[in-house]
Every structure is written in C-alpha cells, then in structure tokens.
A = this chain, B = another copy of it.
Amino acid sequence: MTEDYLKIQKQGVFSAGGTFQQAAGTFDPINGQMAPAGQTRHADHASVLYQLPVDGNGHAMMFLHGYGQSRTGWMSTPDGRPGFSDIFLKKGYGVYLIDQPRRGEAGQSSVATQIPATPDDQNWFTQFRLGLWPNFIENTAFPKDDASLDQFFRQMTPDTGEFDIPVITSALVAAYEKSGPAVLVSHSQGGVPGWFIGMASENVTGIIAIEPGTFVFPEDEVPDIIPTKYPMPVQGVGVPAKDFAELVKKPIAIYFGDNIPSEPSNVPAWDFWRGVKQLANEFVATVNRHGGDAKVVYLPDEGIHGNDHFMFEDLNNQEVADHMGNWMAERNL
C-alpha cells in the first residue's frame, strides 16, 4: 500500500477454541430460567480481531499481548499514532490481534475469580522501564506528556480467571487453525505461552518475542537460576526434547528495548531484565546448538535508542517495526 489510507479486504472478530461445561439437570425456560440446571457455559476461548489488506504480501502475523494487557496496545499508541497493526497492514501483512482466554473481550472463564482494585500504576511504571517515578528515564522513547501516560495506564485490564498456559496455548492453536500460517509476535508474559504455541502449531512460521518473561529449554539443558534482586526468579522452563525440536524449526527473534543494565542494578525491576536478557542469550545458544535460527536483538546495538518494555508503542515504533520487517523479509516470512 502506498496510499495514506488503509485498504481492508476483510475484517472482523471471532472466538477460537475454548471449553464447554454443562450443569446437571434439565433446563426449564418457563419455571427455572435463571437456575443453572441443565445450562451450559462456553468459556476459555481466545478472541481474535483480524484485518486483511487488499493486495497483501501473502504473509500474516498474530499478536499476543502481555500481563494485564489486551490487544489494544497493538492498535494505537498512547499519543494516538498508528500502532503495530496499522504499520504491518501497510507493509502488506494480514494481522490477527488476540485477547487471550480470560482477558479483555475474551472474558468468559470456566473458573470463578476475584478481581482486586489495588493501586499499582507505579509498580508497572518501574517494571516497564519508563523510569523511577515520577521521573522518566532520560532518553526514553515514551511520549512524556501527562495525557499519554494517562492513556498508557488505562490500557491495563485484569484477568477474569486464573492465567493458565495450557488454556491459552489450546485457544491460540485453534486461532491458528482459522488464520493459517502466521508469525507469532508475543509480548512479555505472552512470550511464555508463545513458546508452547510455537511448539504446538505448525502454522506458527516464526516467532518475534518482545521481552518475553522466560524461555523454554530441553528438560536436561535448563540453565541454573539467574540470581537478581527481583523477588521472582529468572528461570528457564524445561520441556520434552521432542517439543523443543518443533520450536527449533522456526526462526526466532527476541527483541529487547533500551536501558537494561549490564551490571547488577539496585532497582529490582531493572535487575530482573538484566537476568532475562542473560537467559535470552542462553536460549539462543541452545536453539542454535540444536540447528535453529535464533537471535537476540538488543535495540541500542542496532542504533535504536530509548525503548521501554512497550517498544511497539514508543515514539520510534515505526523504526522498531521496520527492523522486525527486515528480519521477516530476510526469512521470507
């Protein structure tokens, strides 16, 4: 597309996968409409919003959000510029945007839950490497005006049921059955089910993992825990060798933004990312030792500076997308 507008051949939303429960008894619409007896509950599906461009490049991408997020983060930036979905549509990709089971518009859950209303914006401001509240990191590529930060905080949306990797994996495999082949772009917490989806679906043609929470390894090759100052351990997840062999068939790029310390940091959240980046290097070495094509992309090494954990929303998100686009094009993805 060279026009300054989008040409959409087809768009829509559908649910993929999920479970089905039924209460004992017989439903009675006359005398017991609101009693559970005999009633079903369809739940634990993913919601898939797709847009397919006119004159596309023949490729597609599926986007899986991170913790406390929904697909909206791919659709716009906090300052109202085009998000990754628009950018990659203009590159000719079909885009599939996920709300994972029990999140956002895929809220119907097979398990009950409680949702607290605890203030925690500044926790995430720290974790996502925006800065040390109320100060932004000096070179940040985040738009620093108050309205943008307000929009960013409001992207958060809670789990409506327990986070469950097999449930998410199953729903995403079903989404891939409908989408056909597509590169999986995962973010943060979504990177963890992302590896399992990559092992489970032949339609995953490659993986771009944006600062994933952890990595999988063959069961007998899991590295030692990496000590950091963060309370949650940086630890690989062991999987059967035959599953890992499936993952290794797919090109993998792991993207990290800027301002990840190379030496231990006194900010626990930032020290966590130091550990994750170290583990990413061990993962890449393991994949490539098994014959794969994996790499870590640390954006500052590529001349792209200031990115936080949400590189796809930062002021330079076009530059980040172009880098990913080149990585895909080099692999015919």
Q: Which of A72-80, A198-206, A244-252, A274-282 contacts B (4 or more CB under 8 A)?
A: A72-80
CA gap between A241 and B268 in the complex, in Å: 58
The contact of A122 among B27, B70, B99, B268, by CB within 8 Å, is B27
Q: Do A119 and B22 contact each other (CB < 8 Å), given the known contacts A8-B8, A9-B5, A47-B72?
A: yes
The chain B residue sitting closest to A82, CB to CB, is B12
- What number of copies of this chain does the assembly contain? 2
The reply on A163 being an interface residue by CB < 8 A is: no
CA gap between A86 and B158 in the complex, in Å: 29
The reply on A139 being an interface residue by CB < 8 A is: no
Distance in angstroms from A173 CB to nearest chain B CB is: 16
Whether A269 contacts B29 by the Cβ 8 Å rule is yes
CA gap between A10 and B86 in the complex, in Å: 9
> Across the interface, which residues of B come within 8 angstroms of A30, CB to CB?
266-268
CA gap between A6 and B8 in the complex, in Å: 5
Distance in angstroms from A27 CB to nearest chain B CB is: 4
The contact of A29 among B10, B113, B114, B267, by CB within 8 Å, is B267
Whether A40 contacts B153 by the Cβ 8 Å rule is yes
Distance in angstroms from A54 CB to nearest chain B CB is: 5
The contact of A7 among B7, B71, B266, by CB within 8 Å, is B7
The contact of A34 among B5, B29, B111, B120, by CB within 8 Å, is B120
The reply on A307 being an interface residue by CB < 8 A is: no
Whether A42 contacts B5 by the Cβ 8 Å rule is no
Contact with B along A111-130 (1 / 0, CB 8 A): 11111111111110011000
> Across the interface, which residues of B come within 8 angstroms of A111, CB to CB?
117
Whether B33 contacts A268 by the Cβ 8 Å rule is yes
The contact of A157 among B10, B29, B41, B106, by CB within 8 Å, is B106
The chain B residue sitting closest to A270, CB to CB, is B29
> Across the interface, which residues of B come within 8 angstroms of A42, CB to CB?
121, 150, 153-154, 156
> Across the interface, which residues of B come within 8 angstroms of A47, CB to CB?
72
Contact with B along A180-208 (1 / 0, CB 8 A): 00000000000000000000000000000
The chain B residue sitting closest to A12, CB to CB, is B76
Instruction: From A49, A70, A105, A266, name the one whose CB has the most chain B CB atoms within 10 angstroms.
Output: A105
CA gap between A71 and B106 in the complex, in Å: 11
> Across the interface, which residues of B come within 8 angstroms of A133, CB to CB?
27, 29
Q: Which of A187-239 contact B (CB under 8 A)?
A: 231
**Nearest 6 interchain pairs by C-beta:** A107-B157, A12-B76, A15-B154, A41-B119, A42-B153, A39-B119
A-side interface residues toward B, CB under 8 Å?
5-15, 18, 21-23, 27, 29-30, 33-34, 36, 38-43, 45, 47, 49, 54, 70-72, 75-76, 80, 82-83, 86, 99, 104-123, 126-127, 132-133, 150-151, 153-158, 160-161, 231, 266-269
Having A6-B8, A43-B154, one finds 8 other A-B pairs with CB under 8 Å, namely A15-B155, A40-B121, A104-B157, A105-B105, A106-B154, A108-B156, A111-B117, A160-B160
